[in-house]
Amino acid sequence: MRTTLIAAAAAIALSAVPATAALKLGAKAPDFATRGAIAGKVMPINLKDQLKKGPVVLYFFPAAFTGGCNAEAHAFAEAIPQFKAAGATVIGMSADNVDTLARFSSEKCAGQFAVASAGPAVVKGYDVALGKEVQGRSVTSRTSYVIGQDGRVVFVHDDMNPGDHVAQTLAAVKKLHG
């Protein structure tokens, strides 16, 4: 029994990953240009271009087609009308390849918003490396940023539980329009 408890405690400790978001409120969000997809259609995605339309909710997720990431994508997809009404664009990002994200954008994001591939420079710039692998590849932490139209971070939510990312980022976007 003692061995079982020790093994269980070790498993819990290994799965507990501390919050790591380094970008602080007011920090300039690193610009990026990458490829992503919306509704299965591959396209270029550039932060600077998206900010011309209004604030951006940039949410990093560990890996497409995993339980928490599927649930989070579904929740963001359902809230897209509210984000659009508040003038914001939502972009999901992970270290997944573009082909995987094209499928994910159709199947789990309901074609409602873009998901983009976060390469090493983006992962480093936003300090979202989780420090562990899923299916043999590095993954990002579950970190959501709200970036104001001026390119500055106005809100950070860094929590591996996907439950509050949508509600909290939506509230932050709504505050921008006071």
Name the nearest CA neighbour of 118 among 90, 147, 95: 95
Give the whole-angstrom CA distance, residue 160 versus residue 141.
Answer: 7
Contact present, 120 and 143 (Cβ < 8 Å): no
Contact present, 102 and 42 (Cβ < 8 Å): yes
User: Which residues are catalytic, by number?
Assistant: 69
Contact present, 99 and 121 (Cβ < 8 Å): no
Burial class (CB in 10 A: 0-12, 13-18, 19+), 96: buried
Contact present, 76 and 112 (Cβ < 8 Å): yes
